Amino acid sequence: MFTIEHEFDATIVTLVDDGEKPLQEDIIIAAFAECVTLEQLDPRTDQVQRIVLSLAQLRDLQAALDLPEGSYKFEQR
């Protein structure tokens, strides 16, 4: 299950783990004009962990999901 919210400066997607147990904490993805952040509560420390991806890293991740093993680099045109 997931939700989508459009805020003033970002689009927020929340991924809810509603599958088989054990379940993971929700993941909150915020897409800004200059970066994308992923946040998830770490229940062991009760702190939110945050990862920030540049738009180039997000592009690379998107491409990587459809490619076989290997090393790749986008060429600037």
pLDDT in tens, 29-67: 999 999 999 999 999 999 999 999 999 999 999 989 888
Nearest-angstrom CA–CA distance, 19 and 26 = 12
Whether residue 29 is contained in a domain is answered as yes
Amino acid, res. 57: Q
Structure tokens at 29: 């993805």
Q: Does residue 24 surpass a pLDDT of 80?
A: yes
Whether residue 69 is contained in a domain is answered as no
Whether residue 70 is contained in a domain is answered as no
In total, how many domains does the chain have?
1
Domain that holds residue 37: 2-64
pTM of the full structure: 0.85
Nearest-angstrom CA–CA distance, 21 and 34 = 36
Give me the residue label for tokens 């890293």.
57
Whether residue 33 is contained in a domain is answered as yes
Whether residue 21 is contained in a domain is answered as yes
